Amino acid sequence: MKIDPHLTPKHSTWLVILLLASIFAGGCGAEEKAAARKATDAEIMKASQALAPIKAQLKQALVSSMQEHGPVKAIDACRLEAPEIIQAAAANGFEVGRTSTKLRNADNAAEGSLATWLEFHQSTPNSDVKHAEILPDGKVLYAEPMFVAPVCLSCHGENIPTEVKSELDRLYPNDQAIGFKENDFRGLIWIKL
Ligand code: HEC
Protein backbone atom coordinates (compact mmCIF):
# COMPACT_ATOMS: atom_id res chain seq x y z
CA MET A 1 0.00 0.00 0.00
CA LYS A 2 1.41 3.36 -0.99
CA ILE A 3 0.90 6.47 1.14
CA ASP A 4 0.20 9.51 -1.01
CA PRO A 5 2.79 12.17 -0.09
CA HIS A 6 0.23 14.90 -0.82
CA LEU A 7 -2.10 13.77 1.89
CA THR A 8 -2.24 15.98 4.92
CA PRO A 9 -0.62 14.57 8.09
CA LYS A 10 -4.14 13.97 9.46
CA HIS A 11 -5.10 11.87 6.46
CA SER A 12 -1.89 9.94 6.44
CA THR A 13 -2.30 9.31 10.19
CA TRP A 14 -5.56 7.61 9.42
CA LEU A 15 -4.04 5.63 6.59
CA VAL A 16 -1.35 4.27 8.90
CA ILE A 17 -3.92 3.47 11.57
CA LEU A 18 -6.12 1.72 9.04
CA LEU A 19 -3.16 -0.09 7.57
CA LEU A 20 -2.12 -1.36 10.99
CA ALA A 21 -5.70 -2.25 11.88
CA SER A 22 -5.96 -4.31 8.71
CA ILE A 23 -2.69 -6.11 9.52
CA PHE A 24 -4.03 -7.01 12.96
CA ALA A 25 -7.41 -7.99 11.58
CA GLY A 26 -5.58 -10.54 9.43
CA GLY A 27 -4.28 -12.33 12.55
CA CYS A 28 -6.13 -15.28 14.03
CA GLY A 29 -5.54 -15.07 17.82
CA ALA A 30 -8.12 -13.52 20.11
CA GLU A 31 -5.57 -10.90 21.18
CA GLU A 32 -4.96 -9.80 17.62
CA LYS A 33 -8.72 -9.57 17.04
CA ALA A 34 -9.05 -7.37 20.10
CA ALA A 35 -6.27 -5.11 18.80
CA ALA A 36 -8.19 -4.51 15.59
CA ARG A 37 -10.38 -1.76 17.00
CA LYS A 38 -8.92 1.52 15.87
CA ALA A 39 -8.58 4.42 18.25
CA THR A 40 -11.35 6.99 18.03
CA ASP A 41 -10.60 10.67 17.39
CA ALA A 42 -11.42 11.40 21.03
CA GLU A 43 -8.98 8.74 22.26
CA ILE A 44 -6.22 10.05 20.00
CA MET A 45 -6.88 13.61 21.15
CA LYS A 46 -6.76 12.59 24.81
CA ALA A 47 -3.45 10.75 24.33
CA SER A 48 -1.82 13.60 22.42
CA GLN A 49 -2.98 16.09 25.06
CA ALA A 50 -1.53 13.91 27.83
CA LEU A 51 1.78 13.63 25.98
CA ALA A 52 2.17 17.34 25.16
CA PRO A 53 3.19 18.57 28.65
CA ILE A 54 5.59 15.63 29.08
CA LYS A 55 7.29 16.50 25.80
CA ALA A 56 7.51 20.14 26.88
CA GLN A 57 9.02 19.15 30.25
CA LEU A 58 11.66 16.97 28.61
CA LYS A 59 12.64 19.74 26.23
CA GLN A 60 12.70 22.32 29.02
CA ALA A 61 14.90 20.12 31.24
CA LEU A 62 17.33 19.60 28.37
CA VAL A 63 17.50 23.18 27.17
CA SER A 64 17.92 24.73 30.62
CA SER A 65 20.52 22.15 31.62
CA MET A 66 22.48 22.80 28.40
CA GLN A 67 22.36 26.55 29.04
CA GLU A 68 23.28 26.34 32.72
CA HIS A 69 25.79 23.51 32.78
CA GLY A 70 26.87 22.75 29.20
CA PRO A 71 26.46 19.50 27.28
CA VAL A 72 28.57 17.18 29.48
CA LYS A 73 26.44 17.82 32.58
CA ALA A 74 23.31 18.02 30.44
CA ILE A 75 23.80 14.34 29.57
CA ASP A 76 22.06 13.73 32.88
CA ALA A 77 19.03 15.70 31.68
CA CYS A 78 18.47 13.16 28.91
CA ARG A 79 19.76 10.24 30.98
CA LEU A 80 18.36 10.83 34.47
CA GLU A 81 15.73 13.52 34.28
CA ALA A 82 14.10 11.93 31.28
CA PRO A 83 13.35 8.68 33.15
CA GLU A 84 12.26 10.77 36.15
CA ILE A 85 9.83 12.84 34.09
CA ILE A 86 8.65 9.68 32.43
CA GLN A 87 8.10 7.97 35.80
CA ALA A 88 6.24 11.01 37.12
CA ALA A 89 3.73 10.42 34.34
CA ALA A 90 3.09 7.00 35.90
CA ALA A 91 1.54 8.84 38.87
CA ASN A 92 -1.21 9.91 36.45
CA GLY A 93 -1.63 6.33 35.30
CA PHE A 94 0.33 6.87 32.07
CA GLU A 95 3.25 4.89 30.81
CA VAL A 96 5.62 6.94 28.67
CA GLY A 97 8.84 6.13 26.84
CA ARG A 98 11.13 6.88 23.94
CA THR A 99 12.44 4.48 21.36
CA SER A 100 14.56 4.46 18.21
CA THR A 101 16.20 2.18 15.67
CA LYS A 102 19.54 3.78 16.60
CA LEU A 103 19.58 3.31 20.33
CA ARG A 104 21.79 4.84 22.93
CA ASN A 105 20.22 2.85 25.77
CA ALA A 106 19.19 -0.69 24.80
CA ASP A 107 16.48 -0.56 27.51
CA ASN A 108 14.57 1.77 25.16
CA ALA A 109 14.23 -0.92 22.45
CA ALA A 110 10.86 -1.03 20.67
CA GLU A 111 8.41 -3.90 20.94
CA GLY A 112 5.18 -4.73 19.13
CA SER A 113 3.58 -1.95 17.13
CA LEU A 114 6.27 0.53 18.17
CA ALA A 115 8.76 -1.56 16.18
CA THR A 116 6.38 -1.57 13.19
CA TRP A 117 5.93 2.20 13.44
CA LEU A 118 9.70 2.69 13.61
CA GLU A 119 10.08 0.67 10.42
CA PHE A 120 7.53 2.93 8.77
CA HIS A 121 9.61 6.00 9.68
CA GLN A 122 12.84 4.32 8.55
CA SER A 123 11.38 4.00 5.07
CA THR A 124 9.52 7.35 5.20
CA PRO A 125 11.93 9.53 7.19
CA ASN A 126 10.20 12.88 6.58
CA SER A 127 6.76 11.76 7.62
CA ASP A 128 5.39 13.41 10.74
CA VAL A 129 2.55 10.93 10.93
CA LYS A 130 1.33 10.04 14.42
CA HIS A 131 0.27 6.54 15.42
CA ALA A 132 -2.41 5.06 17.64
CA GLU A 133 -3.94 1.72 18.37
CA ILE A 134 -6.07 0.04 20.99
CA LEU A 135 -4.11 -2.66 22.76
CA PRO A 136 -5.67 -6.01 23.69
CA ASP A 137 -6.06 -4.73 27.30
CA GLY A 138 -8.14 -1.80 26.01
CA LYS A 139 -5.45 0.85 26.57
CA VAL A 140 -4.51 3.36 23.90
CA LEU A 141 -0.93 3.28 22.63
CA TYR A 142 -0.07 6.57 20.94
CA ALA A 143 3.27 7.65 19.45
CA GLU A 144 4.72 10.72 17.78
CA PRO A 145 7.93 10.98 15.76
CA MET A 146 10.82 13.05 17.13
CA PHE A 147 13.16 14.92 14.81
CA VAL A 148 16.67 16.20 15.45
CA ALA A 149 16.76 19.87 16.45
CA PRO A 150 20.00 21.90 16.70
CA VAL A 151 20.01 21.40 20.50
CA CYS A 152 20.24 17.62 20.01
CA LEU A 153 23.40 17.71 17.90
CA SER A 154 25.97 18.07 20.67
CA CYS A 155 24.95 14.62 21.91
CA HIS A 156 23.50 12.91 18.83
CA GLY A 157 25.17 14.74 15.92
CA GLU A 158 28.15 14.15 13.64
CA ASN A 159 30.68 16.32 15.48
CA ILE A 160 30.15 15.64 19.16
CA PRO A 161 32.60 17.60 21.35
CA THR A 162 35.39 15.30 22.61
CA GLU A 163 34.54 15.61 26.31
CA VAL A 164 30.86 14.84 25.62
CA LYS A 165 31.80 11.88 23.41
CA SER A 166 34.08 10.35 26.03
CA GLU A 167 31.40 10.68 28.73
CA LEU A 168 28.83 9.11 26.39
CA ASP A 169 31.26 6.28 25.54
CA ARG A 170 31.82 5.68 29.25
CA LEU A 171 28.07 5.51 30.01
CA TYR A 172 26.95 3.82 26.77
CA PRO A 173 29.69 1.63 25.29
CA ASN A 174 27.27 0.42 22.58
CA ASP A 175 25.90 3.86 21.69
CA GLN A 176 24.34 3.92 18.22
CA ALA A 177 22.54 7.25 18.58
CA ILE A 178 25.19 9.42 16.92
CA GLY A 179 25.79 10.81 13.44
CA PHE A 180 22.38 12.48 13.12
CA LYS A 181 21.82 15.68 11.13
CA GLU A 182 19.28 18.40 11.81
CA ASN A 183 15.71 17.32 10.93
CA ASP A 184 16.63 13.62 10.80
CA PHE A 185 14.07 11.23 12.26
CA ARG A 186 15.44 10.40 15.72
CA GLY A 187 12.79 8.09 17.17
CA LEU A 188 9.34 7.91 18.71
CA ILE A 189 8.00 9.23 21.97
CA TRP A 190 5.03 7.16 23.14
CA ILE A 191 2.35 7.13 25.77
CA LYS A 192 0.06 4.33 26.94
CA LEU A 193 -3.10 5.31 28.80
C1 HEC B 1 23.25 16.50 26.63
C2 HEC B 1 23.18 15.34 25.80
C3 HEC B 1 21.92 15.06 25.03
C4 HEC B 1 21.20 15.94 24.26
C5 HEC B 1 21.49 17.40 24.00
C6 HEC B 1 20.10 15.17 23.71
N7 HEC B 1 20.16 13.87 24.14
FE8 HEC B 1 18.90 12.37 23.62
N9 HEC B 1 19.88 11.11 24.81
C10 HEC B 1 20.97 11.44 25.58
C11 HEC B 1 21.25 10.34 26.47
C12 HEC B 1 22.35 10.30 27.50
C13 HEC B 1 20.28 9.34 26.19
C14 HEC B 1 20.12 7.97 26.84
C15 HEC B 1 19.01 8.10 27.89
C16 HEC B 1 18.74 6.81 28.59
O17 HEC B 1 19.68 6.23 29.17
O18 HEC B 1 17.57 6.39 28.57
C19 HEC B 1 19.43 9.88 25.15
C20 HEC B 1 18.37 9.18 24.63
C21 HEC B 1 17.52 9.67 23.70
C22 HEC B 1 16.38 8.94 23.13
C23 HEC B 1 15.89 7.55 23.55
C24 HEC B 1 16.31 6.46 22.62
C25 HEC B 1 17.73 5.98 22.84
O26 HEC B 1 18.54 6.19 21.92
O27 HEC B 1 18.04 5.41 23.91
C28 HEC B 1 15.80 9.77 22.24
C29 HEC B 1 14.60 9.46 21.35
C30 HEC B 1 16.54 11.01 22.26
N31 HEC B 1 17.58 10.92 23.15
C32 HEC B 1 16.22 12.10 21.49
C33 HEC B 1 16.83 13.33 21.65
C34 HEC B 1 16.37 14.52 20.95
C35 HEC B 1 15.23 14.56 19.94
C36 HEC B 1 17.18 15.55 21.36
C37 HEC B 1 17.06 17.01 21.01
C38 HEC B 1 15.77 17.63 21.27
C39 HEC B 1 18.12 14.98 22.31
N40 HEC B 1 17.88 13.64 22.45
C41 HEC B 1 19.14 15.70 22.91
C42 HEC B 1 21.68 12.61 25.55
C43 HEC B 1 21.26 13.76 24.94
Give dist(CA 76, CA 65) in Å, integer: 9
For residue 189, which atom of ligand 1 is closest to its CA? Answer: 29
Alpha-helical regions (H) of 3-152: 9-25, 30-34, 41-76, 82-90, 112-123
38 CA from centroid of ligand 1 (Å): 31
- Tens digit of pLDDT per residue, the chain (193 long)? 444 444 444 444 444 444 444 444 444 444 444 445 789 999 999 999 999 998 998 888 888 888 888 888 888 777 766 777 777 777 788 889 999 999 999 999 999 999 999 999 999 989 999 999 999 999 999 999 999 999 999 999 999 999 999 999 999 999 999 999 999 999 999 999 9
The domains of the chain are located at 9-192
153 CA from centroid of ligand 1 (Å): 10
Sheet with 131-134, edge to edge strand ranges = 95-99, 185-192, 140-147, 131-134
